[in-house]
């Protein structure tokens, strides 16, 4: 029988209030924000992939603003040195022959860590970062220190190409794309951004780092037994599809499934809490394959109450809807009365739909859709 008395519902409400506030500020980023909440509650790492200007840094900074603790943010380059992340050696101690790092204000002191352009990391700091990400330990020579980090977020505009960086990428259990917002929602984005500029955001929620730590300690009380057979079956399906889910990752993913249940005020995991497995891809090509396998498993959910809202969302594009919209835009483009502003909207929307086509698994459907898209682009280029 599910035991609800052991959860401090106020902690859950506080986290959800923080997430909701961020959602009201950043339009079209709900999936990323929900995953930030899951990783924060589960004390796991989150990787954001996306081009510049898609609010990756802004999302993390807003969470940091609402999390009453220490934050460390750094933009990595190929020439970043360990001192820039972990701090310099203490000169006073060095005179006495002790190699001790002065970590004040640096990564080892932070509760929330954001490493932008993570995959620029060089070999000089790679091993130190691997231990930080995997074990939450800073080790330098004879120094060894447990880190207070509640969550580590990495970001990049590309996926790893070198084998050494693949090991770094592997330490981020959850990966999510941060794309440009659908042009249809651009007006909402502008409204939210302007409100942020005016700092008219109303009452701002917040949460203490110790409260997050208390919430993280509740993860282990979530009952996973009922969904264990379904989880094992799903892991096997993913492996058979070519997705590399190591035993280590399979064990750690249970924390995020439990976090999903916890943020829904449950101490029992449902099948639908496995929605987080949509975001364990290694390559862009895997995203739609994994989503299809996970969504098929979630459709068998019997419980209908207290589901995580993300469990019910299927982000796969509808080929028929895309085709109809492209045909409508083609006719609109041909219309001599179409204004310059309307033509600009068509181009923005066409770019978005072209990207959505990459999510379509059926090759025939994808090629069928890309043909009218390419033809409309030819008309646009010819006219301009």
Model pLDDT for residues 20-73, shown as the tens digit of each residue: 999 988 888 999 999 999 999 999 999 999 988 888 999 999 999 999 999 999
Q: What is the pLDDT of residue 359?
A: 64
Write the secondary structure of 205-260 as one string of H (helix), E (strand) and C (coil): CCEEHHHHHHHHHCHHHCECCCCHHHHHHHHHHHHHCCCCCCHHHHHHHHHHHHHH
Q: What is the pLDDT of residue 5?
A: 44
Q: What is the pLDDT of residue 365?
A: 83
> SS3 of 57, please?
helix
Give the dihedral of Cα atoms 57, 59, 63, 69; nearest 10 deg: 0
Q: What is the pLDDT of residue 228?
A: 95
CB atoms within 10 A of CB 122: 15
Spatial contact of 173 and 152, defined as CB atoms under 8 Å apart: no
Strands 67-68, 207-208: pairing is: parallel
Q: Which of 192, 281, 290 is nearest to 237 (CA)?
A: 290
Backbone angles phi, psi at 71, to 5 degrees: -120, 140
Backbone angles phi, psi at 148, to 5 degrees: -85, 5
Angle ∠(152,55,125) on CA atoms, nearest 5: 35
- What is the spatial distance between Cα 115 and Cα 276, in angstroms, rounded to a whole number? 22
Q: What is the pLDDT of residue 2?
A: 46
Residue stretches of the chain with pLDDT short of 70: 1-8, 91-97, 182-202, 300-306, 313-317, 355, 358-359, 361, 383-384
CATH topology for 9-198 is Rossmann fold (3.40.50)
Model pLDDT for residues 251-287, shown as the tens digit of each residue: 999 999 999 999 999 999 999 999 999 999 998 888 8
- The residue extents of the domains of the chain are 9-198, 218-312, 319-383
């Amino acid at each position: 029988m599910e035991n609800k008395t052991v959860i401090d519902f106020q902690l859950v409400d506080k986290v959800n209030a923080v997430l909701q506030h961020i959602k009201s500020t950043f339009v079209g980023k709900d999936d990323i924000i929900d995953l930030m909440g899951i990783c924060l509650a589960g004390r796991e790492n989150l990787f954001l992939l996306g081009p510049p200007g898609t609010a990756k840094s802004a999302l993390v900074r807003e969470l940091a603003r609402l999390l009453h603790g220490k934050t460390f943010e750094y933009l990595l380059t190929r020439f970043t040195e360990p001192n820039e992340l972990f701090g310099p050696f203490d000169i006073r101690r060095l005179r006495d022959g002790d190699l001790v790092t002065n970590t004040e204000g640096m990564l080892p002191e932070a509760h929330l860590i954001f490493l932008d352009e993570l995959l620029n990391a060089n070999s000089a700091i790679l091993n130190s970062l691997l231990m930080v990400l995997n074990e939450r330990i800073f080790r330098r020579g004879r120094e060894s220190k447990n880190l207070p980090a509640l969550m580590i977020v990495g970001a990049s505009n590309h996926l790893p190409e070198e084998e050494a960086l693949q090991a770094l990428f592997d330490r981020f259990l959850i990966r999510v794309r941060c794309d440009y917002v659908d042009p249809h929602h651009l007006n909402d984005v502008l409204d939210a951004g302007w409100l942020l500029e005016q700092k008219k955001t109303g009452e701002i929620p917040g949460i203490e780092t110790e409260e997050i730590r208390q919430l993280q300690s509740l993860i282990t009380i979530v009952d996973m037994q009922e969904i264990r057979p379904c989880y094992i079956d799903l892991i096997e399906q993913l492996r058979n599809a070519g997705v590399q889910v190591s035993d280590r990752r399979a064990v750690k993913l249970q924390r995020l499934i439990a976090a999903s249940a916890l943020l829904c005020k449950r101490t029992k995991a449902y099948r639908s809490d496995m929605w987080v497995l949509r975001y364990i891809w290694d390559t862009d090509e895997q995203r739609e394959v994994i989503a299809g396998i996970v969504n098929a498993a979630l459709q068998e959910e019997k419980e209908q109450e207290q589901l995580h809202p993300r469990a019910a969302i299927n982000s796969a594009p509808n080929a028929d809807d895309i085709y109809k919209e492209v045909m409508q835009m083609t006719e609109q483009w041909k219309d001599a009365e179409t204004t310059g502003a309307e033509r600009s909207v068509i181009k923005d929307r066409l770019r978005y739909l072209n990207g959505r086509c990459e999510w379509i698994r059926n090759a025939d459907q994808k090629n069928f859709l890309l043909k009218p898209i390419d033809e409309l682009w030819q008309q646009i280029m010819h006219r301009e």
